[in-house]
Chains A and B, each alone.
Chain A
Amino acid sequence: MFFQQLAEGLGAGAGYAALALALVLAYRFTGIVNFAQGELALLATYVAWQLVDSGLPYWAALPVTVAVAFTAGMLTERVLIRRVESAPGPISPVVATIGLYVLVNALAALVWSSALRAFPSPFPDAPAGLAALAAAGLAGLVLGALALVVRHTGLGLVMRAVAADPRTARLSGIRVGQVAALGWGAASAVGALSGVLLAPSLFLEPAMMTGVLVYAFAAAVLGGFDSAPGAVAGGLIVGVTETLCGTYLAFVGADLKIAVPLVLIVAVLLLRPRGLFGTAPVERA
């Protein structure tokens, strides 16, 4: 029973981790918190559902979905974020992402209605606990591959340079705009993974990612908001804590589960404002 819960917590946590990582990526490349990240993932999940519904096998629909999400993320950066980025103050771009959130959400409801839809599991024949673990493993695989690219390729080096200091990157001849778009594309692709992994247990509907976004924010804050490994670890911690609290703390139950990440956020901000994994700015004291 405990291990079953733990496995399910890790499975859910992998989904939160993916969206948290998406938030962190978008933030690192443009300094903007993308409130529409969950809705972009929702859109991608509907695309996946549509593909599977029209007869495409699951494992063929997945890469197509990720590619669509990647493109959507890049377009969002190029078309929306770049235009509002130069507006004075840090608020305008964030408000723009909230606008996008509302827009995408309404669009999803319009196109696919607000009906609950069953979404296929990647491992339909495995018992629930094992399927959750396998889903977590799948997420781990994808995130690991992403980490390899970022750590060990020339493109990854360029991306890290842009995230570290856009001005110096420009003066080094790096087309910062294109790299930022690439970063948003990667963020959106990782976010899509979150939607696809969580949809089998949450059921697909326009509000599906709303709660997930809260969990993902908790995970990202837990991880320090600027740390990719931190976001992943944060997601797993949130997933496991939420599941175990929901099961073992009678007063929490199913209704109060959503409060768990909020309590975590407040606790982390009070005890360790930089997050569990947040990097101290690399500077000499």
Chain B
Amino acid sequence: MSGLRVSGLRAEYGAARVLHGVDLEVGEAEIAVLTGPNGAGKTTLLRALSGLVRARGTVTLDGVRLLGRRPEEIARLGVWHVTQEGGTFAPLTVRENLRVGARSGRHFAADLEWLFGYFPVLQAHLSQPAGTLSGGEQRLLAIGRALLARPRLLLLDEPLRGLAPRAEGVLFQAIHAINRHEGTMMIIVEHHVATALRIAHRSYVVESGKIADLRTRWRW
């Protein structure tokens, strides 16, 4: 029963139906990459999984049903959603941002060291309010927070957006390291398909609120 199973997932904003029965799976320690045209419903799919939008259908994580729970309860079950924008607390310092949701104090110092190995830029701005970081730095902070939380399932919505090419490579190294060492399952929504597929175990194409019929679905 381990892993994420989604079947018949439907969601709408008011009268506008966005998801029309999505089926997908993420196995133990797998990374799934989601691509598809703008407005296809990728962000909405992640929102449905993390409880930000109401949805119907079945979603189980390690056999536990997720739908119908509040976002904070889903987060407590180990799902961490890095949204398309935001994900940081603007008035709090970088250090405080990393602390919220991170593993217990005992691990925190070591976890920080680990993170700074990949993102020295965060260390350089440790006591600066997050709201004053550059766009790319804020993005790295939001993802860094997610990595420190050591979730069971990590949902990343366009993690590369706004990042310089060098940062892209480092970010994927960090993501990959967490995936291998912790067995973290991930769904990565990304338009930079080539980069994302390098670390993917499977991929799905979302089109008009469904997984595309001619789904490219690799396993390796």
User: Which residues in A have some Cβ–Cβ distance to B below 8 Å?
Assistant: 157-158, 160-161, 164-165, 167-176, 279, 281-284
In the complex, chain A residues whose CB is within 8 Å of the CB of B88: 165, 168
State which residues 81-95 of B face A: CB under 8 Å. 81, 83, 86-92
In the complex, chain A residues whose CB is within 8 Å of the CB of B132: 282-284
In the complex, chain A residues whose CB is within 8 Å of the CB of B52: 167, 171
> Would A161 and B50 be within 8 Å (CB), given that A176-B72, A284-B132 are in contact?
no
Most buried by B among A165, A173, A175: A173
| CB-CB nearest in chain A for B102 | A172
Q: Contact at B131–A167, with CB atoms within 8 Å?
A: no
> Would A283 and B100 be within 8 Å (CB), given that A168-B88, A168-B89 are in contact?
no
Check B159 for interface membership: any CB of A closer than 8 A.
no
CB distance from A281 to the nearest CB of B (A): 7
> Would A164 and B75 be within 8 Å (CB), given that A171-B80, A171-B83 are in contact?
no
Interface residues on B, range: 20 to 34
Contact of A283 among B71, B76, B101, B131 (CB under 8 A): B131
| CB-CB nearest in chain B for A164 | B89
Q: Contact at A157–B99, with CB atoms within 8 Å?
A: yes
In the complex, chain B residues whose CB is within 8 Å of the CB of A160: 89, 91-92, 96
In the complex, chain A residues whose CB is within 8 Å of the CB of B131: 281-284
How many angstroms between the C-alpha atoms of A169 and B149 in the bound complex?
13
Q: Contact at B91–A164, with CB atoms within 8 Å?
A: yes
Q: Contact at A174–B100, with CB atoms within 8 Å?
A: yes
Q: Contact at B72–A279, with CB atoms within 8 Å?
A: no
> Would A172 and B101 be within 8 Å (CB), given that A282-B131, A284-B132 are in contact?
yes
| CB-CB nearest in chain A for B133 | A284
Check B129 for interface membership: any CB of A closer than 8 A.
yes
Most buried by A among B70, B71, B87: B71
